[in-house]
């Protein structure tokens, strides 16, 4: 299923992105499926690597999903607006502060997508983080030449989204796979459960993703298994995750985390891949 168009790739930097793990994920993702589901799509590294002809993608981050839709429907308008941004500190903070004003609600979908892509490319360490009020709160990155307008990638992603049957949602992860059938396949990449009390980074949305959500996701995986549906899940190697999925196949993967708000928490860590199907099923 992996396709050759290398320009179809993530258009945002994303903490927890899966680009580095793609070789390991490819080995485990079935070659045949009716529909590809990804309820925590994030930057879309796996989606854009597989480039399935039929997919349902979802993310709880409404601003991110708005960007996907604008890239699909209004890519040239988005590119034109991105070219108006300035890599300048005062301008950055002025743009960042828009979601703290009443005028933010009046911004067009193109303006909102342009703003979030600009902030993502110029903020500190490529973080996407919001506070309890849902406001973007990452400081200026001070990069000399950030690639704010990657026209080739934006047009390639737009082409993929338009030339295939890709449904884009922004709802709860359970709702996103509500109508999944046995022939389909789902890849779960939720916000990882923290390895320690000080390492939590779940603020992609104002509501975060807590232990109760992790348990709810596991229950969903149990229901999928009972229905004969295949799933692959990524998460941290936290004790909670190992305990929750002890009845499934768990594999440890080395991963390097380059994006973190704390420098001493970047570096190589152990992650896990959990699945409910056998390796010899991968071609079927």
Task: Kindly report which listed range (2-6, 100-104, 193-197) carries the lowest average pLDDT score.
Answer: 2-6
The strand pairing partners of 270, in sequence order, are 254
pLDDT digits (tens, 9 = 90+) for 225-268: 999 999 999 999 999 999 999 999 999 998 775 544 444 444 56
Mean pLDDT over 53-65 rounds to: 95
Which pLDDT score is estimated for 284? Answer: 43
Which pLDDT score is estimated for 42? Answer: 93
User: Does residue 75 contact residue 96 with C-beta atoms inside 8 Å?
Assistant: no
Which pLDDT score is estimated for 238? Answer: 94
Which pLDDT score is estimated for 113? Answer: 98
pLDDT at 176 over 70: yes
Phi-psi label, residue 16: left if phi above 0, alpha if psi -120 to 50, beta otherwise = left
Task: Kindly report which listed range (73-82, 192-201, 239-248) carries the lowest average pLDDT score.
Answer: 192-201
Instruction: Tally DSSP H helices, then E strands, for the chain.
Output: 10, 7
Helix (H, G, I), strand (E, B) or coil at 83: coil
Residues whose CB falls within 8 Å of the CB of residue 188, separated by 6 or more in sequence, listed in order = 39, 40, 173, 217, 221, 231, 232, 233, 234
The pTM for the full model equals: 0.91
Domains of the chain with CATH codes: 19-63+158-195+211-281 (3.40.50.150), 67-151 (1.10.1020.10)
The strand pairing partners of 188, in sequence order, are 233
User: Which residue in the block uniquely carries the two structure tokens 């229905």?
Assistant: 227
| Closest residue by Cα to residue 140 from 155, 125, 150 | 125
d(C-alpha 188, C-alpha 39), whole Å: 6
pLDDT at 140 over 50: yes
Does residue 46 or residue 2 have the better pLDDT?
Answer: 46
Which pLDDT score is estimated for 201? Answer: 46
């Amino acid at each position: 299923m992996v396709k050759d168009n290398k320009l179809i790739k993530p258009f945002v930097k994303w903490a927890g992105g899966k680009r580095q793990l793609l070789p390991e994920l490819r080995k485990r993702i079935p070659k045949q499926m009716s529909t590809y589901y990804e309820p925590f799509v994030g930057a879309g590294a796996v989606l854009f690597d597989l480039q399935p002809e039929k997919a349902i993608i979802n993310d709880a981050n409404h601003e991110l999903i708005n960007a996907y839709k604008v890239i699909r429907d209004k890519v040239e308008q988005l590119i034109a607006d991105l070219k108006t941004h300035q890599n300048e500190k005062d301008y950055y903070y002025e743009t960042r502060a828009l979601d703290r004003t009443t005028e933010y609600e009046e911004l067009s979908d193109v303006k909102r997508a342009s703003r979030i892509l600009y902030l993502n490319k110029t903020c500190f360490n490529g973080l996407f983080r919001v506070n309890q009020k849902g406001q973007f709160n990452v400081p200026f990155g001070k990069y000399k030449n950030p690639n704010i307008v990657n026209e080739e990638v934006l047009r390639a992603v737009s082409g993929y989204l338009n030339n295939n049957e890709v449904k884009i949602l922004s709802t709860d992860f359970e709702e996103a796979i509500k109508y999944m059938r046995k022939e389909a396949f789902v890849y779960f990449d939720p916000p990882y459960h923290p390895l320690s009390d000080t390492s939590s980074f779940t603020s992609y949305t104002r509501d975060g993703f807590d232990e109760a959500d992790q348990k709810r996701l596991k229950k969903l995986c149990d229901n999928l298994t009972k229905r004969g549906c295949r799933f692959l899940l990524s998460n941290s190697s936290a004790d909670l995750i190992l305990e929750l999925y002890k009845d499934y196949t768990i594999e440890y993967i080395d991963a390097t985390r380059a994006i973190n708000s704390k420098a001493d928490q970047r570096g190589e860590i152990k992650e896990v891949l959990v699945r409910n199907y056998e390796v010899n099923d991968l071609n079927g």
